Structure 1
Amino acid sequence: MTLPTTFNPAEIEARWYEHWETHGCFRPARPDAEPFTIVNPPPNVTGSLHIGHALDNTLQDVVIRYERLRGKDALWVVGTDHAGIATQMVVERQLEARGDRRTNYTREEFVEKVWQWKEESGGTITGQLRRLGCSMDWSREQFTMDPHFTRAVTKTFVDLYRDGLIYRDKRLVNWDPKLRTAISDLEVEQKVIAGNFWHFRYPLAPDENGNAVTLDDGRDFIEVATTRPETMLADMAVAVHPDDERYRSVVGKHVILPITGRRVPIVADEHADPELGSGAVKITPGHDFNDFEVGKRAGIAPADMLNMFDAEANVVQTADGLIPDEFIGLHRFRSDKVLGEAKGARELVVERMKELGCLIPHKARTKQGEEVEMDAEPRQIATPFGDRGGVVIEPWLTDQWYVDAAKLAERPIAQVRSGEVEIVPASWEKTFFNWMENIQPWCVSRQLWWGHRIPAWFSLDGEVFVAETREEAQAMAGEGVAIQQDDDVLDTWFSSALWPFATLGWPEESALLAKHFPNSLLVSGFDILFFWDARMMMMGNYNMGAAPWPRLYLHGLVRAPDGQKMSKSKGNVVDPLGLIDRYGADALRFFMAAMESQGRDIKMDERRVEGYRNFATKLWNAARFCQSNGIGASSAIKAPTARLAANQWIIGEVAETARAIEKAMADLRFDAAANAIYQFTWSKFCDWYLELIKPVFAGDPDAMPAVETRAVAGWALDQILVMLHPFMPFITEELWHSQAEISGGKRPYELIVAKWPEPEAEVSKAATDAIDWVIDLTTNVRSAKNELGIAPGAKLAAFVPSPSDLAASTIERSSAAIERLARLTPVTVGEAPQGPAMQVTAQAGSEGADVFVIPLEGIIDIDAEKTRLAKALEASRKEAKSLEGRLSNPAFVEKAKPEAVEKAREDHAHHTAEIERLEAALARLG
């Protein structure tokens, strides 16, 4: 025996990962083989392994290990993303903890501090990926700020600019006042928070002749409503619907804004909804995305739109100078940064409007029915927050750099439509098309210091020169012309969009790039389909003339056991490293793969992880059994010659399992592949085959049956280790080498680079049918005993009135196996005696079922058992009917908590299965 009695994952995991990495097992080393390439979604350099990473990287590792075993020149590109905002936040927080600030340093000094942090503390997650068993090529580890990668980013920006696909424009952006940078739409989280709806009077202005203007109903004002009263300081219009009869007479007239005195037009625009509120809406084009479009339609150029906030959302004077001095410097909301008892701009606007008689109070009733007046109507309001800064996003009018995303999206759309790029599961195609066909210009500039600085230089008169180097820009500007580089950096997603080819050395030509681009597959969470996946398609087509991969697999989320999304605030986050500590990486990996069903999220279930740890232990003990009987490593990929039925059967089952896994992996059905190897290992090999061959080793160890069986069993165990390796790499590698020691030698290569099973064996259908028949008979007898409360070890007599040819020959040749496994003895061909009995069947393949009659006289009380089963059946029928009624009620399905609906469905499925089981049990008793 070479294996310890107890399976200890921690010891073998650390040892084997170090061995694989130091021996170069993860590097592509088959120059003449077909390439297979994947790239990991680069985690943030600030990150640590979370459960989503565990799922994403497990699936990728299953694929790369599988393709490596199939002889491909497999490359898994690994690296980390510089994560502009996240990394700068980490370093700034460290400075603040020491009473320091970023602004105490020059840009260059701060960036140097970030590099120092990266070298000392960055990359924690790479060590954690190793613990998970990820077979990434660490010798080519990438970082998006590496010099060669920076050159790729710079070249792409310059090329896009020269092709008219990058431009500078004044538009509204999502501005994070805490981080003081623009962020993308995809980095904005909508949260519903408590807010208010204020109603104001905007006085109608006299016409050009000084005559008073009123509405048809005689009012001399227009009522507007808003959730953001502070923005009225920059209002530039009031919009009404062109078909709204109430306002048709005043379209083209003006109102005088209270507080600022600004005269602004009344415009007709379909954005105004006649059914909502008063039907009139204030328009602040410099601070609202919808208003921005209304303003442009009304003829207001973006350059003329008023901006009333600075980068931290404090009020600044507008270009027309009409905001009263008391508002200048106030934060948009009440803020701790405002000294003393000073109000925020919102509060002060409401107070001044009330003093001017321009606040229309909201009338409400108390619980006692009394009518009261309030300044505003309380409402729950969907509000945008920055996902990192955590503060309310401010639409802000600034000059930024934009990519013509609509143009770059054309070819990816066509590739998905034509099938040139396959999205798996296909249900995501609709979402992909909807987003890509309505894509907005992509704002790629960020107001940070950490990141790829935009390669654009400005002269004093504002002329821009875009070039790869300062020297080129200076030459474009002319000698003696002072130029200054843009302070902004590029959106992190701009650089990571180059990941599939810049990691292979682009823009330099190389054999590595030529062989491994396009990549073979991308595995990604659906949540970064537009952040990353779609943008890689854009840049792959632009820079390389091809899609970066032909297949895109989108997996779901890992959710809490109750189906809720995991979050720190809910306290339901699961630490994958803790699961690895408790159960081992192999168990966690197998859970992830087995639960990954296309188009569905995964519910975290620690009991299942524990169950897969037990599966690993079962395999470990099976190997110990083999070794104790002299069963060692196989010396060939081809199956050994076999004459015994059990040996022929297991060879056939190996071939069938390999085909099932191959089909599942081709379809990217990770759950089906995992289930195939699980069922074969646990049930076919451990439970049945090892049980079938035990008597062989009780006889002469040098006889033909024992010699043949040792060869077949060793070969079959080898095939299990190969097929299971992509899912459970550590235990399989350990057993692979341990088996060789039993054979008195060492493996010539590691399991990670072994060859996928090719049994190339012909087996007797009669032999395999006989084993399948015995297994079916044994399974049904055990089930019947369990249903009727008969002891599992009880030996029962059995009668077969009309046996099939298969049954007759198997009973004759394998009566000992039938007695040992099914516990039936004797088995008599002929009619059973009269009296209480149960019936079980045995079947193999498509052959008809053989019926066994098993007398029960003196074994159980038939009448009492029928009564018990009938009572249980009635209870399950009643419960199933009740649950069916609840589930067919739309009010329950739509209004109840999702977990309650799911529980009802699970209970209904349980009772439905119980009904079938109990009906079958009653039928057995006749």
Structure 2
Amino acid sequence: MSLDKSFEPKAIESRWYPYWEEHGYFRAGFDPSRKNPYCILMPPPNVTGTLHMGHGFNQTIMDILVRWRRMSGDNVLLQPGTDHAGIATQIVVERQLEREGLTRYDLGREKFLERVWQWKEYSGGTITRQMRRLGTSADWTRERFTMDEGMSRVVRDVFVRLYREGLIYRGKRLVNWDPKLRTAVSDLEVSAEEEEGFLWSLLYPFADGPIDGQRGVVVATTRPETLFGDVAVMVHPEDPRYQGLIGKEVILPLVGRRIPIIADAAVDPSFGTGCVKVTPAHDANDYAVAQRHGLPLINIFRLDAHLNDQVPEPYRGLDRFVAREKAVAELQAQGLLVEVKPHKMMVPRGERTGVVLEPMLTDQWFVATTKPGADGKSLAQKALEVVEDGSIRFFPDNWVNTYRQWLVNIQDWCISRQLWWGHQIPAWYADEDPAENRRFWVAHDEAQARALAAAEGYTGPLTRDADVLDTWFSSALWPFSTLDWTPEYPAKSNPALDLYLPSSVLVTGFDIIFFWVARMVMMTTHVTGKIPFKHVYVHGLIRDAEGQKMSKSKGNVLDPIDLIDGIDLESLIQKRTTGLMNPKQAASIVERTRKEFPNGIPAFGADALRFTFASLASPGRDLKFDLGRCEGYRNFCNKLWNATRFVLMNVGENLPETPAAPEALGFAERWIVSRLQRVEAEAQRHLTDYRFDLYAKALYEFVWDEYCDWYLELAKVRLAQGDEAVRHATRRTLIRVLEAVLRLLHPVIPFITEELWQHVAPVAGRKVSDSIMVAPYPVAEPGRLDEAAEREMALFQAITRAVRGLRAEMKLNPGERVPLAVALGEAADEALAATIAGFVPYLQALARLTEVRTLARLPEDALAPVAAVETLQLMLDVPIDAAKERERLAKEIERLRAEIAKAKKKLENPSFVERAPAEVVAQERERIERFSATLAQLEPQLARIERHLAGG
């Protein structure tokens, strides 16, 4: 089977992924003879979502790790699954209903959920199909969905257990409320951006008449419509303007209710008038103030953010912003509006709906995160301890501080959502009880709830709680729910749970360290007694080449599948503008796209995209994705493909297995084998340290720079000029190094390496497996390091580069062959002379030379440029126009002196040295050294030419 002439990613991707899956290479390992268990839990994406760049990056990192450890002989599991994504999925289906002129309430809960399940079945496999396109080697036979029956059972079991332990409770608290969705939302679903607004200054009259000639106090607020829920006016206790007013009462405008003036350090005296209103049912800070001062809570909003019956009759039923306009007009008419001025403020909006969120006082279910459990420790305390004692490690370790800060300041977790799609809360209410004081029973099912109710003397009808659980609740159980945990654990377990809990590493973005990572640690340690994972690898967020967040509104979104398959310009424009309502915005995105991708996006293939993702994975918050990198790594794949074709053509299909004779191995063979040991060690170290960027860099440079650009070129000379023993040694080295390189590269570029390995492995004498996926990952052999060969090769490379530099300096035609003179120096020994003699055939080929002459020193009257390499002096023996060369050298020397002076001036400036980044300062010092070294070579050359022209 011959290798195709060109690399066609689509063909090999479509061939090899089904092959791997059908042969069971992705299946979880349970072989007791294997060394270690290695497990990664896939962060469950939205079941009805599509692959975005963040997913693509995350999938690539996880897959690199599991492919590496699978090849290393470990039992491996990449556990896949998807999340029901309560709010996101419900919104999609509700929008479908809107187009039909319906709402979920028209259908009713049961019929609505049927529609959601239909949508899930229709679109649910899209993202997993896309993951396969990327090469993700997950055990798809173990795929989980957070609302599968088995997963739902775990959710119910854990909820009931925590409730019975007193760690889940129901209470009335302030939550982020989305009036459009009519549900509480998590902090992660709040998008707070600075917007232009107003600051209204309102007069609250003193209840018992003017004081010291003042009619009342002036209160500054950004939300005048909430004054109906005011229960106090607040000042700073040390503000001299209000010392004598603390404890007095004012009349609440538009309502007429008397409210007190209180003092609290929460007030910023510099904000507005230094006097603020307290509305505890609609502001988180005011809620805390009310708790401290024992103030009442007055809720003035319905769940749709219209005003309720707690406000004066004319305002009842009004939308909050309509009520704002009406209230301001009435305040002005009554002479109570003192001032209105523009004011920038942070406005919280629902990430999915875009509407302004309300802090809403509602009945919700909470997890008590700081309450001590039966063991005397809270969920948060245990989650902190396992990180503090090193049981769980973060990479990079600076993220421990973020984790610690969040847990130290943690609040109880609101886990209920007023949605229909999700895990319905397993609590049943007594229908016959008063609405405000209904008894309820938490149970695994209704039959158990009835039994519990009957035990307390209630036998009437029961109604199940309509709320569902926050999606993050079921996601927090992911480390053990995916492994089929049951409440009988550890007495009753299973092989997957025994082997793969805790998992080895969690790969995640920094933005969900609290929302997901910390909650998994809390839940898993409490419920199972084990940590969920040993390591947490935290990566940055993928942004565009300018560092901007990728978003549809900016028109800079890239789809990983488009990068794999390619997409024409018009299709890309249509994709980026579909659904945009603003014509001006759409036009801007069209213009941007045409400018950025005039010919569309070419097909890079999955391997090039994966290599790009790996190269980006450096520590930091932002990872800038540049399409140019994809092109560079596609070129790398082409280079690897062509190198393999060259090797196979020159080695043949029946390479004798006879080892190479030691004396037939030249310095090039010994060098490339030694370098292979070093890069094998580097690959292992970088993967162990989660430095995928350094792993990618090390392999790229070895393959492109050392194997292809140097060794293949030297091998051509040996194959053309050597005897049979030399040719055999060269062929064996070519194929054996290439085969190892393919295994080194497989975790990051799996498709091309499998295709090439199938051709290379039999020739290399490796016939131990049917796929590179289960071939052993290369391990360095320190005994094969050859420092002498590395020094010899370093000298050869330096000479070759110097000769190429001389050719460029003299502007010689690339195809022109010229002689080279090498001055060894008076003190040169025979070993150096022999080394240079051994270089001759290779220098002739790689530097385009007719001959290489060695001599003790160069002639004193030689005019050609000279390059120094260690103790050697190199000169191309060609005629020189002395006058032109003097002019050229003089200009170059002048330029170098100017550059040196400029760099020195910067370094002599203390302000520059102190304030500039260390790498910039180091760069200036390096420039001085480099320019000075070149100057030291050029000045003697110029002096020599000037002597010649002067007749000296």
Q: How high is the TM-score relative to the length of structure 2?
A: 0.87
**Separation (CA, whole Å) in 2 of partners of 1:554 and 1:308:** 43
Report the equivalent of 1:836: 863
Residue 826 in 1 paired to residue 867 in 2?
no
Report the equivalent of 1:4: 4
| Residue 305 of structure 2 corresponds to residue 313 of structure 1 | yes
Relative to structure 1, the CA distance from residue 31 to residue 735 in structure 2 (aligned partners, 3 Å threshold; closer, same or farther) is same
> What is the 5 A alignment of 1:138-287?
138-206=140-208, 212=209, 214-215=210-211, 217-287=212-282
Partner amino acid for 1:614? N
Q: For residue 369 of structure 1, what is the aligned residue in structure 2?
A: none
CA gap of 1:239–1:655, structure 2 versus 1, over 3 A, is same
Could you say which residue in structure 2 is the equivalent of 1:455? 426
Structure 1 residues 477, 600: closer, same or farther in 2, change over 3 A? closer
Which whole-Å deviations, capped at 9, do the CAs of 1:99-123 have from their partners, x for residues lacking one?
A: 2211112212111111111111123
Question: Residue 481 of structure 1 is aligned with which of 455, 460, 482?
Answer: 460
8 Å contact 2:177–2:360 — kept in the other structure?
yes
Instruction: Give the residue type in structure 2 aligned to 1:827.
Output: R
1:642/1:712 contact within 8 Å kept:
no
Partner letter of residue 936 of structure 2?
A
| Structure 1 residue 879 displacement after superposition | 7.5
Q: CA separation in 1, counterparts of 2:801 and 2:678? A: 21
1:533-554 deviation line (CA, Å, top 9, x unaligned): 1111111111121221111110
Displacement of 1:922: 3.0
Instruction: Work out which of the residue numbers 817, 822, 840 in structure 2 matches 1:798.
Output: 822
Distance 1:639 1:383, change over 3 A: farther
- 1:433 equivalenced with 2:412 (yes/no): no
Which of 685, 688, 692 is residue 714 of structure 2 equivalent to? 692
Partner in structure 2 of residue 38 of structure 1 = 40
Return the offset for 1:273.
Answer: 2.5
* Contact 1:872 1:918 (C-alpha < 8 Å) held by counterparts: no
Unaligned runs of 5+ in 2: 371-377, 487-491, 566-602, 941-952
Q: Which of 317, 320, 326 pairs up with 2:314? A: 326
| Cα distance, 1:743–1:651 mapped onto 2, change above 3 Å | closer
Aligned residues of 1:254 and 1:265 also touching (Cα < 8 A): yes
Aligned residue number for residue 354 of structure 2: 390
Report what 2:833 is aligned to.
Answer: 808
In structure 1, list runs of 5 or more residues that go unmatched. 207-211, 334-343, 362-375, 843-848, 894-901
Asked if residue 706 in structure 1 is aligned to residue 701 in structure 2, the reply is: no
- State the shift of 1:632 in Å: 5.3
Provide the residue aligned with 1:867 in structure 2.
Answer: 890
Q: Is 2:735–2:763's contact at 8 Å kept on the other side of the alignment?
A: no
Q: What aligned pairs does 1:280-679 form with structure 2 within 5 A after superposition?
A: 280-300=275-295, 304-318=296-310, 323-333=311-321, 344-361=322-339, 376-406=340-370, 407-460=378-431, 461=433, 462-478=438-454, 480-507=459-486, 509-581=493-565, 582-631=603-652, 643-645=664-666, 646-679=668-701
Secondary structure of the residue aligned to 2:504 is: coil
CA shift, 1:394, in A, is 0.3
Specify the code of the residue in structure 2 equivalent to 1:488. Answer: D
Match of 2:373 in 1: none
Task: Give the partner amino acid of 2:824.
Answer: V
The farther-off stretch of 793-802 and 192-201 is 793-802
- Cα 1:722/1:184, change in 2 over 3 Å: same
Aligned to 2:778: 757
Does the 8 Å CA contact 1:524/1:552 hold for their aligned counterparts? yes
Cα displacement string for residues 60-112 of structure 1 (whole angstroms, at most 9, x for unaligned residues): 11111111111111110111100000000001111111122111122121111
- State the distance in 1 between where 2:795 and 2:426 align: 74
Q: Distance in 2 between matches of 1:712 and 1:101?
A: 70
- Change in CA separation of 1:445 and 1:640 when aligned onto 2, cut-off 3 Å: farther
| Partner SS, residue 550 of structure 1 | strand
Of residues 76-85 and 812-821 in structure 1, the stretch that sits farther from structure 2 once superposed is: 812-821
CA distance in 1, matches of 2:906, 2:111: 67
Distance 1:880 1:832, change over 3 A: closer
- 1:400 partner SS: strand
CA shift, 1:690, in A, is: 1.1
Work out whether residues 788 and 865 of structure 1, in 8 Å CA contact, stay in contact via their aligned partners in 2. Answer: no
Q: Displacement, 1:276?
A: 2.5
Aligned to 2:842: 817
Question: Mean Cα displacement is larger for which, 253-262 or 220-229?
Answer: 253-262
Q: TM-score, normalised by structure 1?
A: 0.89
**Residues 504 and 780 of structure 1, relative CA distance in 2, 3 Å threshold:** farther
Against the structure 1 CA distance between its residues 747 and 576, is the aligned structure 2 distance closer, same or farther, given a 3 Å change threshold? same
* Other structure's SS at 1:598 match: coil
Q: For 1:709-748, list aligned pairs within 5 A.
A: 709-740=730-761, 748=769
Q: CA deviation at 1:777?
A: 2.1
Kept in 2: contact 1:839–1:924 (CA 8 A)? yes
Q: Is contact 1:223–1:278 with CA below 8 Å preserved after alignment?
A: yes
State the Cα distance separating 1:262 from its structure 2 match.
Answer: 1.3
- What are the superposed Cα offsets for residues 391-432 of structure 1, whole Å, 9 maximum, x if unpaired? 111000011111122331212212222222111111212222
Distance 2:654 2:902 in 1: 53
State the partner residue of 1:81: 83
Aligned AA (1:18): P
Corresponding residue pairs, total: 871
Say if 1:714 and 1:660 are closer, same or farther in 2 by CA, change over 3 A. same
**Partner of 2:124 in structure 1?**
122
What is the identity, as a one-letter code, of the residue corresponding to 1:476? L
**Counterpart-to-counterpart distance in 1, 2:661 and 2:115:** 63
Asked if 1 retains the 8 angstrom alpha-carbon contact of 2:800 and 2:843, the reply is: yes
Residue aligned with 1:520, SS: strand
Instruction: Letter of the 1:12 partner, please give it.
Output: I
Alpha-carbon distance between aligned partners in 2 of 1:780 and 1:30, rounded to the nearest angstrom: 56
| 1:680 correspondence with 2:702 | yes
Displacement after TM superposition at 1:39 (Å): 0.8
* Alignment-mate amino acid for residue 453 of structure 1: Q
C-alpha separation in 2, matches of 1:408 and 1:470: 29
Distance in 1 of aligned mates of 2:412 and 2:429: 23
Farther off after superposition, 632-641 or 162-171? 632-641
Amino acid at match of 1:221: G
Give the deviation of 1:787 after TM superposition: 5.1
Shift of residue 171 of structure 1?
A: 1.0
Equivalent pair of 1:649/1:768 in contact (CA under 8 Å):
yes
Per-residue deviation, 1:811: 1.7
